[in-house]
């Protein structure tokens, strides 16, 4: 059973997320998150050879995506 993501889930998520955590919060496939990192869409930092995604930049991307979807309706 998939995990339900709520505002509480977002609030208690760490400020820097692994690719897997970002995928779970956003509902995107981890490969999509990796592509967004490569495109420079998400703010990241590298720690020990692992990319971490800034939660705020993921939220901003999600909000922009929602606005775009609403405009297209």
* Alpha-carbon distance values, 11 to 1, 43, 60, 61, 69 (Å): 22, 18, 14, 16, 24
pLDDT tier, 44 (very low <50, low <70, confident <90, very high otherwise):
very high
The number of distinct structural domains making up the chain is 1
- Is the pLDDT score of 2 beyond 90? no
Flag whether 28 is in a domain.
Answer: yes
Q: Which residue has the higher pLDDT, 1 or 6?
A: 6
Flag whether 1 is in a domain.
Answer: no
Each as own residue / partner, the long-range contacts of residues 42-50 (CB below 8 Å, 24 or more positions apart, any chain) are 45/16, 50/18
Domain that holds residue 56: 7-72
- Residue 43 sits in a domain whose CATH number is 1.10.1660
What's the DSSP call for residue 52? E
What pLDDT digit, counting tens, does each position of 8-37 carry?
989 999 999 999 999 999 999 999 999 999
Flag whether 2 is in a domain.
Answer: no
pLDDT for res 1 = 56
pLDDT for res 58 = 97
Flag whether 60 is in a domain.
Answer: yes
The answer to whether 58 and 13 are in contact (CB under 8 A) is no
């Amino acid at each position: 059973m998939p995990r339900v993501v709520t505002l509480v889930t977002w609030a208690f998520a760490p400020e820097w997320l692994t690719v897997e955590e970002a995928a779970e919060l956003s509902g995107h496939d981890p490969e999509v998150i990796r592509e967004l990192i490569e495109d420079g869409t998400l703010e990241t930092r590298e720690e020990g050879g692992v990319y971490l995604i800034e939660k705020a930049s993921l939220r901003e991307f999600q909000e922009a995506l929602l606005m775009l979807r609403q405009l297209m309706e």
